[in-house]
Structure 1
Amino acid sequence: MRIALISPGSFPVPIRYGGSSVETAISNIAPRLPADWTVTVLGKRFPGLKARETKNRVTYVRLKETAQKDYLHACIQYLQKVPHDMVQVENRPAFVPLLKKTLSCPVLLSLHSVTFLKPRALKGYTPQSCLNHADHIITNSRYLRSLLNARYGTSTPIHPVHLGVDTKRYRAHWNERERTARRLRSRFNVSRRIVVLFAGRLIPIKGVHLLLKAMHQAVKREPRLLCLVVGGSRYGSNRETRYVRTLKRIAKPIRRHVRFVGTIHPMKMPSYYALADLVVTPSIGPEALGLVNLEAMASGKPVISTAVGGIRETVDTGKSGILIKPSRLKRELAPSILKLSKNPSVRKRMGQKGRQIAEGRFSWERTARQYAERYERILQDKIKGHEG
């Protein structure tokens, strides 16, 4: 099979210094598709990257055009010169109508959220038009499939496939993990602290302000607590926005209990999970999935998160972590942090269960296998349709 994946073009692929779940998914799924397939990833050119290269059996073609319209036309020109059996658009619904109009192969839309179904991102198209032009849609959760059906009523078949986590990279050998944790604890001078980790973008929907306010309450009863805030206002950026300044004001009275780490290279993140005792992701918006929770679970860490969106499909409350309804976050987040901070045996039990779930249900190998099976069925249906 010859398949082309069209990246949004916002960040380099394979992922380097930053990127969203979209670039993370492309970087991890494409190399794990069947070895006898021809897999091409189209993206934009970034400094330091070649116009064309092959890594791990995946050919990356990087186009110069920077404007989205020009980028799409450049992708189409390439695909017309080099035909493929299937083309998948990653999280850019506005690309689909023109691709479907100009290409003869099936055009799939892989959606990670509804962000790019908003009017300003659709370039004059309606959401229904973009969705209905796709031959098939793949979502990263059952929740997102339900949302698309309820909100837009598309006639296009929708197939949920959960994203994954690198279960090898996010779980080093125990002794190595202990050495890494000791080294980082020494660096941050937190050897005797209970480390609460937040990892993600510093934007209101992630609920970081609620975590910091909960820390105000929790440290009164457990002074060993330390909250590490890893991430920036944008992927790969430490620009100090109004919201980031608000977070720092909230943290100032408990500055001994909060550290703003900033953005971290993706390859270094496993070390920070190794350092943590528990991970908190208090999202107040409808997260479609939540890769941070999967990374925490793969790292053997208990998760405190919100019972919203696709998070409910990944975190098993009471087993691999604690889920809190958004309306109860202000009341229940601090007690939940205290519950886990004071019970190492509970943390260990939840961490072990999370690791078991990550290995069994959320490895990238499993995700890539489900994608490949879906592609094969779609192509077989097309062949049968022509024969009929």
Structure 2
Amino acid sequence: MRIAFISPGSFPVPVHYGGGSVETAITNIAGRLPAHWNVTVLGKRFPGLKDKETRNRVTYIRMENTSQRSYLHSCIRYLKKFPHDIVQVENRPSFVPLLKKRLPCPILLCMHSLLFLRPFALGGRNPQDCLNSADHILTNSHYLRSLLLSRYRTSTPVRAVHLGVDTGDYRSRWSQKGKRIRYRLRSRFGLTGRTVVLFAGRLIPIKGVHLLLESMIQVVKKNPRILCMVVGGSRYGSNRETRYVRKLKQMARSIHPHVRFAGTIHPTKMPQYYALADLVVTPSIGPEALGLVNLEAMASGQPVISTAIGGIRETVKTGVNGILIKPSRLKQELTAAILHLSENPALSERLGRNGRLFAERCFSWDHTARQYARIYYQIHSPNKGRT
């Protein structure tokens, strides 16, 4: 079977330095599809990357980095010259009508959020027309599927397939190798004897980092051994200081020894930061379609404190692998939740071990790729009869 992914073009694929859940998903799913399939990923050119190359059995074709309209037409020209059995568009519903008009194969649309169904992203197109032009729609959570159907009532079949995490790169802190890595890293970072609360993600208001720092001001009064490690920048791959980032750093000054800003970290180094932590906090105050950070934390054997909102509720379960807090209760309950886990190592271990099992069974990239492959078979078989 011949499968082509069309990336949004905002960041390089495979994930190079900066990139979000979309680029991470393409990179990890494409390389895990059946070995005898022909898989192509179309994207834009970025410095340091070849116009064409093959990695992990996946062919990457990179178009000139120009406007989205020119990029789409370049993708169509390539796909007309080299036909594929299925074309999957990642998070760009505006691309679908023209692709469906120009190409004879099924067009799948994979939605990672509803952001690009807003007027600014559609260039005057009707969102429902874009959705109805697709043969199938995939969402990264049941929450996003329900939200999409309630807002747009598309006639196109919509299926939810959770994204995943690399359970090989992210090792459980409770495994023997994980313990050795953790000990070495904590010594290198000067964190021996400290309780580390980790935040990883973009430093934007919707992620609730300011609420975490407000809680830390109270937490350190009761436990001066706690340190908060903040990993991420204002946008993917960027350490540009926005007004919000400056606000966070100003807040942290009153408890300076207890907060460290690590900035944007190369994706290959992120497992190290999870390994040295004691718990992970993701206090989002806006709807998250899924939340890859929570999956990475679970795979690392870390208990998670997060918000009972959006797709997060599909991955974090209070008393099972973490603690969920209602958005309206974050200010009141986040401090107590951090102290509760930091003072109860047996509970943290149980939640962390459960999270690792949960990640292995339900949220590995291998599991995700198998679900994608089954969907492709179902779509392709009625037309071709075989792969």
Tell me, yes or no, if the aligned pair for 2:45 and 2:63 is still in contact at 8 Å: yes
Tell me, yes or no, if the aligned pair for 1:198 and 1:230 is still in contact at 8 Å: yes
User: Hey, what's the Cα distance between the residues in 1 that align with 2:180 and 2:10?
Assistant: 36
SS at match of 2:100: helix
What code does the residue aligned with 1:238 have? N
Give the superposed CA RMSD.
1.2
| Pairwise CA distance, 1:177 | 2.8
User: Hey, what's the Cα distance between the residues in 2 that align with 1:48 and 1:61?
Assistant: 14
What code does the residue aligned with 1:83 have? P
SS at match of 1:32: coil
| Pairwise CA distance, 1:218 | 1.1
User: Hey, what's the Cα distance between the residues in 1 that align with 2:103 and 2:90?
Assistant: 17
Aligned to 2:295: 294
Aligned to 2:268: 267
| Pairwise CA distance, 1:383 | 4.8
Tell me, yes or no, if the aligned pair for 2:172 and 2:301 is still in contact at 8 Å: no
SS at match of 1:226: strand
User: Hey, what's the Cα distance between the residues in 2 that align with 1:18 and 1:284?
Assistant: 23
Q: Does 1:96 align with 2:131?
A: no
> Structure 1 length normalisation: TM-score?
0.97
Unaligned runs of 5+ in 2: none
| Pairwise CA distance, 1:176 | 3.8
User: Hey, what's the Cα distance between the residues in 1 that align with 2:235 and 2:181?
Assistant: 27
User: Hey, what's the Cα distance between the residues in 1 that align with 2:183 and 2:241?
Assistant: 30
Tell me the alpha carbon deviations over residues 354-374 of structure 1, each in whole angstroms, 9 at most, x when there is no partner.
001000000111100000000
What code does the residue aligned with 1:374 have? I
| Pairwise CA distance, 1:57 | 1.0
User: Hey, what's the Cα distance between the residues in 2 that align with 1:202 and 1:130?
Assistant: 31
Aligned to 1:371: 372
**CA 1:345/1:172 → structure 2, altered by over 3 Å: closer, same or farther?**
closer
SS at match of 1:304: strand
Q: Does 1:248 align with 2:253?
A: no
Tell me, yes or no, if the aligned pair for 1:65 and 1:74 is still in contact at 8 Å: no
User: Hey, what's the Cα distance between the residues in 2 that align with 1:65 and 1:278?
Assistant: 40
User: Hey, what's the Cα distance between the residues in 1 that align with 2:59 and 2:231?
Assistant: 32
User: Hey, what's the Cα distance between the residues in 2 that align with 1:72 and 1:33?
Assistant: 24
Aligned to 2:181: 180
Aligned to 1:82: 82
Aligned to 1:150: 150
User: Hey, what's the Cα distance between the residues in 1 that align with 2:65 and 2:218?
Assistant: 51
Q: Does 1:306 align with 2:307?
A: yes
What code does the residue aligned with 1:350 have? L
Q: Does 1:341 align with 2:342?
A: yes
What code does the residue aligned with 2:225 have? R
User: Hey, what's the Cα distance between the residues in 1 that align with 2:19 and 2:83?
Assistant: 28
Aligned to 2:28: 28
SS at match of 2:31: helix
Tell me, yes or no, if the aligned pair for 2:304 and 2:321 is still in contact at 8 Å: yes
Tell me, yes or no, if the aligned pair for 2:46 and 2:65 is still in contact at 8 Å: no
Aligned to 2:204: 203
What code does the residue aligned with 1:213 have? E
User: Hey, what's the Cα distance between the residues in 1 that align with 2:324 and 2:305?
Assistant: 6
Tell me the alpha carbon deviations over residues 88-118 of structure 1, each in whole angstroms, 9 at most, x when there is no partner.
0001111111111111111000010011111
User: Hey, what's the Cα distance between the residues in 2 that align with 1:225 and 1:267?
Assistant: 26
SS at match of 1:373: helix
SS at match of 2:156: coil
What code does the residue aligned with 1:95 have? F
SS at match of 2:41: strand
Which stretch shows the higher mean deviation, 188-197 or 83-92?
188-197
User: Hey, what's the Cα distance between the residues in 1 that align with 2:281 and 2:168?
Assistant: 22
Q: Does 1:230 align with 2:231?
A: yes
Aligned length: 384
Aligned to 1:214: 215
| Pairwise CA distance, 1:175 | 4.2
SS at match of 1:366: helix
| Pairwise CA distance, 1:316 | 1.6
What code does the residue aligned with 2:32 have? R
Aligned to 1:38: 38
Aligned to 1:320: 321
User: Hey, what's the Cα distance between the residues in 2 that align with 1:65 and 1:198?
Assistant: 33
What code does the residue aligned with 2:286 have? G
Tell me the alpha carbon deviations over residues 111-138 of structure 1, each in whole angstroms, 9 at most, x when there is no partner.
1001111111111112111111111000
User: Hey, what's the Cα distance between the residues in 2 that align with 1:304 and 1:65?
Assistant: 39
Tell me, yes or no, if the aligned pair for 2:165 and 2:292 is still in contact at 8 Å: yes
User: Hey, what's the Cα distance between the residues in 1 that align with 2:285 and 2:172?
Assistant: 32
What code does the residue aligned with 2:168 have? K
Tell me the alpha carbon deviations over residues 176-210 of structure 1, each in whole angstroms, 9 at most, x when there is no partner.
43343233323332211100000000001100000
What code does the residue aligned with 1:41 have? V
User: Hey, what's the Cα distance between the residues in 2 that align with 1:55 and 1:268?
Assistant: 20
SS at match of 2:3: strand
> Structure 2 length normalisation: TM-score?
0.97
Aligned to 1:3: 3
| Pairwise CA distance, 1:36 | 1.1
User: Hey, what's the Cα distance between the residues in 2 that align with 1:56 and 1:188?
Assistant: 33
What code does the residue aligned with 1:60 have? Y
User: Hey, what's the Cα distance between the residues in 1 that align with 2:181 and 2:229?
Assistant: 16
Aligned to 1:284: 285
Tell me the alpha carbon deviations over residues 296-340 of structure 1, each in whole angstroms, 9 at most, x when there is no partner.
000000000000111101112111000001000000000000000
Aligned to 2:168: 168
- Sequence identity of aligned pairs in percent? 70
| Pairwise CA distance, 1:65 | 3.6
